[in-house]
Amino acid sequence: MNTDKHGFFRCELRTQTGISFASMSIRAHPWLKIGAVCFAAAVLFCVCAQAAPPAKPNIVFILADDLGYGDVHCLNPERGKIATPCLDKLAAQSMTFTEAHSSSAVCTPSRYSILTGRYNWRSHLQSGVLGGFSPPLIAHDRLTVAGLLQQQGYRTACIGKWHLGLTFAGKGENRDLAQPIKNNPTTLGFDYFFGIAASLDMPPFAFIENDHFTQLPTVTKKWVRAGLAAPDFEAADVVPELTRKAKEFIAANAATNGPFFLYLPLTSPHTPLVPTKEWQGKSSLGSYGDFVMETDWAVGEVLAALDKNGVADKTLVMFASDNGCAPYIGVTNLEQQGHFPSADRRGYKADIWDGGHRIPLFARWSGKVKAGTTSDQLVCLVDFMATCADVLGAKLPENTAEDSVSLLPAMLGTATAPLHEAVVSHSINGSFAIRQGRWKLELCPDSGGWSAPKPGSPEAEKLPPVQLYDMSKDIGERTNEWAAQPEVVARLTKLLEKYAADGRSTAGKPQANDVIVNIRKEKALSKDDEGKVITHD
């Protein structure tokens, strides 16, 4: 503020970049001066409120592997028998999404959509999953949510199960595992990676840090499958080790002022069921229940680390599972003991029914997301990327996150309409489902996965070609209404065809899929890198 030679004073305010946004010249009178200063201060306040970039919360995304919706006790109090105190506490501090789905009923494709914001079936993986030595699934030039956050100044880490392919030097017997591993997570937006290549029952059984094994896999071990392993690697050590690394990352980054993003895809409670001694016998339901409890403990440890390092209040925490509970962990036995991992839904991991892909999803953000609330919005894990962009006020390029919708309006309680026009699901054999409102259409006669009636079975041959369920009154997907509701079948089929043809399901310019997507394609189980059919992941 300056008084000029004519008895006027000039009051001017500038932004940090030097752009003048409020200036005035007034004849100098003390009261006028005071008024002018007050006015300018008010303008400054308003403009700053508008122009200041949104606060950048730390973001922690914890992903359990094959944890059923009904395995989380607070989500299934009547028919869930496993104690999950840490997840229950997190739910009490969060918004719980009661109709959240993974884009696929199995690991690799589900993870693809979480990191890219794009449905997995737009990639070349049209069924099944990758193996531990498979080549990368995410194109090297595709922006991932980690890349987005890195651009926004975040320190980013992936700690856990990758399962999206890597490039090892050489092939088969000529593979040279001592050479740097290319196309690892650090080439897709993560500053740091520590974890394993694929599922805990898939070789190589060895930890990878950034582009190298921490100990070379030189021996053979077996957890479900046999294969190359690092001599010191033990499957039971993995959850505690990932937890330790996650806590280390939080402590190191809480000490700096920059925001951080931790993507923590845990390896449990996926097979092999290897709870540590401390957890063995704790659930009284067998090793699966014990492993779920250890998974719950790991979540509790990470949340405690946020508290301990004083960053809990400025961290958005999301917790989810990548697909439903796997039937081969002994679900029949669990059900006989009164525990139902899919809660009230039909089927399990790999299936097109909700048991395959309806998953727990919590969002905790102190001061922003009201604690202890629920949302029944139909949402998908593909939404994570657009949610992060929305939190930061970042604009996503047209050729990224083509199927991702921000969950922020639901989280802030401002949503007044469905966030998604419809949500698409995919089973292990590549069968499609589309859900809109109460209707769910499945373009297969069978489970599309491992539950009966299985694809290709004599029972499936006798069934109608598609399934249509009214989820408002038939949550267990038992009464097929396809014959009675042909117009609904036609409408939803057309919408799915449009989503496939447009290369996106959100508003924007049409994009190309990586392959020709045929929503009624021939069903075939995928083969691993050695040509064997992958029967489960």
On the 0-12 / 13-18 / 19+ scale of CB atoms within 10 A, 510 is: exposed
Q: 305 with 251: CB under 8 angstroms?
A: yes
- Please report, as a single letter, which amino acid is at residue 393: G
Stretch that binds Ca ion, among 107-115, 181-189, 271-279, 375-383 (CB under 5 A): 107-115
Number of residues that bind Ca ion (CB under 5 A): 5
Whole-angstrom distance, CA of residue 365 vs CA of residue 369:
5
Scan residues 369-428 and list those touching Ca ion (CB under 5 A). Answer: none
- Could you say which of 71, 296, 322, 446 contacts Ca ion (CB under 5 A)? 322
Residue of minimal CB distance from Ca ion?
Answer: 107
Instruction: Give the HSE-up count for residue 193: Cα atoms under 13 Å, Cβ half-sphere.
Output: 25
State the chain's maximal CA–CA distance in angstroms.
98
91, two tokens? 């739910």
Q: Following DSSP, what letter does each residue of 335-380 receive, concatenated? A: HHTT--TTTTSS--TT-SSHHHHB--EEEE-TTTSPTTEEE---EE
- Kindly tell me which of 243 and 323 has the beta carbon lying closer to Ca ion: 323
Q: Which stretch binds Ca ion (CB under 5 A): 66-74, 88-96, 233-241, 254-262?
A: 66-74
84 lines the binding site for Ca ion (CB under 5 A): no
Burial per residue of 375-397, b for 16 or more beta-carbon CB atoms within 10 angstroms, e otherwise: bebbbbbbbbbbbbbbbbeeebe
Q: Which of residues 205-224 bind Ca ion (CB under 5 A)?
A: none
Exactly one of 36, 59, 65, 410 binds Ca ion (CB under 5 A); that residue is 65
Closest distance between Ca ion and the C-beta of residue 54, in Å?
33
Least Å distance, CB 87 to Ca ion, is 17
- Mark the segment that binds Ca ion (CB under 5 A) among 18-26, 101-109, 214-222, 502-510: 101-109
Nearest C-alpha neighbor of 448 from the set 126, 105, 67: 105
66/294 with CB nearer Ca ion: 66
Is 66 a binding residue for Ca ion by CB under 5 A? The answer is yes
Q: Does 201 bind Ca ion (CB under 5 A)?
A: no
Stretch that binds Ca ion, among 32-40, 83-91, 314-322, 510-518 (CB under 5 A): 314-322
Written as six digits, the tokens of 434 are 């589309």
Taking CB under 5 A as the criterion, the residue among 323, 436, 505, 526 binding Ca ion is 323
Distance CA(84)–CA(300), nearest Å, equals 10
Radius of gyration of the chain measured on its C-alpha atoms: 26
Interface with Ca ion, residue 71, by CB under 5 A? no
Instruction: Give the nearest distance from C-beta 396 to Ca ion in angstroms.
Output: 26
Q: Which is nearer to Ca ion, 292 or 391 (CB)?
A: 292
- The footprint of Ca ion (CB under 5 A) covers 65-66, 107, 322-323
